[in-house]
Amino acid sequence: MFNGKSPAAAPGDIRQHRLRNGLGMLLGIGAGVVGYSLLHEPLNVRLEHLTIELPQARGCLPAQGLRILHLSDTHFQGIVWREQAKIERIRRLTAGLEYDLLIHTGDFWQEETGLSHMTELIKALPRPRLGGYGVYGNHDHVSYTHSDMLARNWERYQKENGKSSNGHKPALIHQVRDFYAFARFFMNMPFVLKRVRFNNKELLRRTLATHGVEILNNRAIPVCHRPGETDGVDLYLAGVDDVAEGWPDIGKALANVPEGKTILLLSHNPDILEEPAAQRADVILSGHTHGGQIVLPLLGAIHTHSEQLARHEAAGMVRRGKTQIYITRGVGEGIPLRFGARPQITLITLKAG
């Protein structure tokens, strides 16, 4: 006789139902994280503010500070919807902004097809009081493919660790240890990528110059405006070529800078720190790391793109001796993913402490 109650589900059916619900939830969370990392965070550029004090620069900087709008790693390649969204957001963030220097620390483009978007971004920015300057990044020299990235870095790992395949499959425990060691290597060493073409950096230089941005390639210029007055500036601005793909010569760049002068050095790759002459700089502005691009709780940046930086130094302020280094997370990406490393532009104020 029917008593109005549903028959009790078998324990196996309950377990399967819970398993399906759990898997559905995990898939939903995973899809949400991927969507956020692809479509939200990379487009959500932030304008951040930073003050750097330079006690040794008294009398060389304006009383209210020297204001620098720092951009890097735009990585434009001509993807209209994505890059236009970034340009429009930066236009809104900087509308009415007053500042002294526009600085771009390289990787203007990913491919030459991104040049028109780069010039559009420059035109969208308010004009700086004292001019715009930049340096080349590795992508300004070369275009890469990521298709065989894992294989190339596995070969590099084996070569640098004296490992070779002798036709014998190692025991499982050795395979696990090798995989763990390779993962650590992969996370802590700059990627080895296949070059597919050399970009026309001279075209980039000329085009930027017509829009008010001068490339400083292993050279320095004096920035001297009303020295001695309350709004005066008296320092040297230097730039070096890219560490990985260029021919950086910091000695040449600083050769004509008098001793004791305040020096602001531009280098796309913060690994310029390994050069002893970099210690002459009071401030170094860099990019390249993308802030790790993917930053996980507890672990931090999964990759620093650097041989000289600890994982917690992938973005923000770093100090080596008297030299202060600021590493921006940048605007764009080579691989279009960000998580926990929101893109940024930074208004830096240099003040005499």
- Residue 1 pLDDT > 50: no
Q: How far apart are CA 64 and CA 352, in angstroms?
A: 9
Q: How many whole angstroms separate alpha carbon 309 and alpha carbon 193?
A: 20
Residues 234, 260: Cα–Cα separation, whole Å: 12
Find the angle CA(34)-CA(37)-CA(40) to the nearest 5 degrees: 115
pLDDT at 167 over 60: no
Contact 342, 41 (CB under 8 A): yes
Q: Please give the pLDDT value at position 230.
A: 87
More confident position, 192 or 323: 323
> Which pLDDT tens digit goes with each residue over 54-89?
988 988 999 999 999 999 999 999 999 999 999 999
Give the per-residue pLDDT at 193.
84
Task: Look up residue 167 and give its two tokens.
Answer: 């036709």
Per-residue pLDDT for 228 more than 80? yes
Domains in the chain, start-ordered, CATH in brackets? 44-146+193-351 (3.60.21.10)
Quick one: pLDDT band at residue 34, thresholds 50, 70, 90?
confident
Between 170-174, 229-233, 341-345, the lowest mean confidence (pLDDT) is in 170-174
Q: Which of 79-83, 105-109, 190-194, 266-270 has the lowest mean pLDDT?
A: 190-194
**What is the pLDDT averaged over residues 126-143?**
97
Average pLDDT, the chain: 88
Which of 45-59, 138-152, 227-241 has the least mean pLDDT? 138-152
Which residue spans within the chain are E strands per DSSP? 46-53, 66-71, 101-104, 131-134, 142-145, 194-198, 213-215, 219-225, 233-239, 263-266, 283-286, 295-296, 300-301, 316-320, 323-327, 344-351
Q: How confident is the model at residue 349 (pLDDT cuts 50, 70, 90)?
A: very high
Contact 240, 278 (CB under 8 A): no
**What pLDDT is recorded for position 143?**
94
- Structure tokens of 59? 């009398």
For helices 201-210 and 115-124, the axis angle rounded to 10 degrees is 20
Intra-chain end-to-end CA distance of the chain, in Å: 90
Beta-carbon contacts of 248 under 8 Å, excluding residues fewer than 6 positions away, are 218, 240, 241, 242, 267, 272, 275
